[in-house]
């Protein structure tokens, strides 16, 4: 029987394991024995792209649009083929100019404009807050569903609960504390966090194993393989249409726009820039990422449609949110071990995104917004200090808390009104605005 105390204890143990991996990675870097000087770890760390949107939301989208979930992964697969020319150039520029964030990158290409760097930071924070709320929604919903085990009860709308009873607030505060301990223990002039990258690569394996385990169990445990699932679904008209692409202009337009958005987002989301560019230790690692990252996307998406179809057939009476099928299907069959593995996989997907994203955003907020204002002010007299490390760490830690509370506020206000994928698309559209100015700065000499 899954109890709340058991779920919390396993979650804390898993987070402790992540911290241990990060600690080993940092210690190795201090001794000159880099744990992440490996192209496979670099490629796996790029899979921080796969958040709870992938782990839970892709199944929800597949249940509504069928294979319409694919463009979010086709875009990154297509752009990966160009990484040796595009991503490697970004890495070389970043290393030559000691760039530490996407805001720094943009500002450096246009006369080191502090105004432009600050503008990019503001857009990034506003655009990423909905994505952070997505992670809070997914983790809090899955936790609340598990509390009802073995019954499957959809959680109440967060906006209707008093704040002191809202588990998403506790999760937001816990993630803020974990991120502060995890990523702001010390300052590094290069803004690299080798231990964090090692932990993110490990998390990528965990969420792939967890999602694949559910997919295999649904496909070959609940059903008799792929052919059985698709044959049964084809016999139901409402499900048969999910396996086809609508032959309409709007359908093709949707595929094209989502593919383009995802191509840009895998490059320009702050966390992707942090992992792919800032944390890169050897540009030759990109060679393996060019094929291994698309392979990862393929593997984690093989079972999306079978799980979606299996959930729709099993819960044909409705009442169960399709975003939760990855969790509720094994719950319905009382597969306790698998249920717990799924929860840890979802937690991995969420914490990986939150850690890297908030570290990247807090660096941008500190370097491009707060510190320029403080240095101009005579009130704080920072110009007279020889050591600003304590001030910098304090600003970044405060920024992490504020960003996560903004994500929680968005979740309370609007998060329950949208599916997971819908929330994520808001952030994709926001960071796509960086594409013209970044590509212009890279290839337009007169920019």
pTM, rounded to two decimals: 0.93
Q: What is the pLDDT of residue 229?
A: 95
- Of 51, 58, 128, 120, residue with least CA distance to 352: 51
> What percent helix, strand, coil does the chain show, rounded to 5?
80, 0, 20
pLDDT at 86 over 60: yes
Contacts of 394 (CB under 8 A, 6+ apart): none
pLDDT grade, residue 157 (50/70/90)? Answer: low
Average of per-residue pLDDT across 60-72: 91
Are residues 100 and 191 in contact, defined by beta-carbon separation less than 8 angstroms? Answer: yes
Are residues 80 and 237 in contact, defined by beta-carbon separation less than 8 angstroms? Answer: no
pLDDT at 415 over 60: no
pLDDT at 188 over 70: no
Token look-up 């690569």 returns 201
Q: Which residues of 328-349 are buried (b: 16+ CB within 10 A; e: fewer)?
A: bbbbbeebeebbbbbbbbbbbb
CA dist., res. 40 & res. 316, Å (int): 42
Average of per-residue pLDDT across 16-42: 86
CA dist., res. 303 & res. 83, Å (int): 27
- 339 vs 61, 314, 324, 328, CA distance in Å? 21, 17, 12, 8
Residue 51 tokens read as 């958040």
pLDDT at 191 over 80: no
Q: Which residues of 172-206 are buried (b: 16+ CB within 10 A; e: fewer)?
A: bebbbebbbebbbeeeeeebbbbbbbbbbbbbbeb
Summarised one tens digit per residue, pLDDT across range 334-363 is 899 999 999 999 999 999 999 999 999 999
Residue 65 tokens read as 């649009």
Average of per-residue pLDDT across 229-254: 82
Q: What is the pLDDT of residue 35?
A: 80
Token look-up 């726009």 returns 257
Summarised one tens digit per residue, pLDDT across range 270-283 is 999 999 999 999 99
């Amino acid at each position: 029987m899954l109890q709340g105390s058991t779920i919390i204890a396993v979650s804390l143990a898993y987070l402790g394991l992540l911290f241990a991996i990060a600690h080993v990675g940092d210690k190795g870097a201090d001794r000159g024995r880099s744990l992440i000087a490996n192209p496979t770890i670099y490629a796996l760390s790029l899979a921080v792209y796969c958040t709870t949107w992938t782990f839970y939301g892709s199944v929800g989208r597949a249940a509504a649009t069928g294979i319409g979930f694919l463009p979010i992964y086709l875009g990154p697969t297509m752009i990966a083929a160009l990484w040796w020319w595009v991503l490697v150039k970004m890495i070389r520029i970043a290393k030559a100019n000691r760039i530490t964030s996407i805001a720094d990158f943009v500002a450096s290409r246009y006369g080191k404009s502090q105004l432009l760097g600050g503008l990019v930071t503001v857009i990034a924070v506003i655009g990423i807050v909905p994505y952070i709320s997505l992670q809070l929604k997914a983790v809090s919903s899955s936790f609340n569903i598990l509390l009802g085990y073995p019954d499957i009860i959809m959680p109440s709308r967060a906006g209707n609960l008093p704040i002191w009873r809202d588990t998403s607030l506790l999760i937001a505060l816990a993630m803020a504390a974990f991120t502060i301990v995890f990523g702001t223990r010390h300052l590094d002039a290069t803004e690299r966090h080798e231990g964090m990258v090692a932990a993110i690569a490990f998390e990528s394996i965990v969420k792939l194993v967890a999602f694949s385990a559910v997919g295999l169990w649904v496909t070959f445990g609940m059903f008799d393989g792929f052919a059985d699932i698709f044959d049964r679904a084809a016999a139901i008209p409402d499900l048969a249409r999910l396996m086809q692409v609508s032959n309409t202009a709007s359908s093709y337009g949707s595929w094209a726009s989502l593919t383009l958005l995802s191509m840009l987002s895998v490059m320009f989301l702050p966390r992707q820039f942090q992992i792919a560019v800032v944390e890169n230790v050897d540009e030759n690692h990109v060679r393996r990422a060019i094929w291994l990252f698309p392979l990862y996307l393929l593997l984690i998406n093989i079972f999306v449609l079978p799980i979606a179809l299996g959930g729709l057939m099993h819960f044909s009476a409705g009442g169960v949110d399709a975003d939760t099928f990855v969790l509720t299907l094994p719950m319905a069959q009382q597969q306790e071990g698998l249920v717990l593995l799924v929860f840890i996989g979802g937690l991995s997907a969420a914490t990986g995104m939150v850690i890297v994203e908030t570290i990247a955003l807090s660096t941008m907020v500190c370097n491009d917004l707060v510190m320029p204002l403080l240095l101009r002010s005579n009130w704080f007299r920072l110009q007279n200090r020889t050591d600003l490390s304590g001030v910098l760490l304090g600003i970044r830690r405060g920024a992490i808390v504020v960003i996560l509370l903004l994500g929680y506020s968005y979740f309370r206000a609007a998060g329950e009104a949208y599916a997971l994928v819908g929330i994520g698309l808001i952030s994709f559209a926001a960071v796509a605005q960086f594409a013209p100015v970044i590509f212009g700065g890279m290839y337009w000499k007169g920019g």
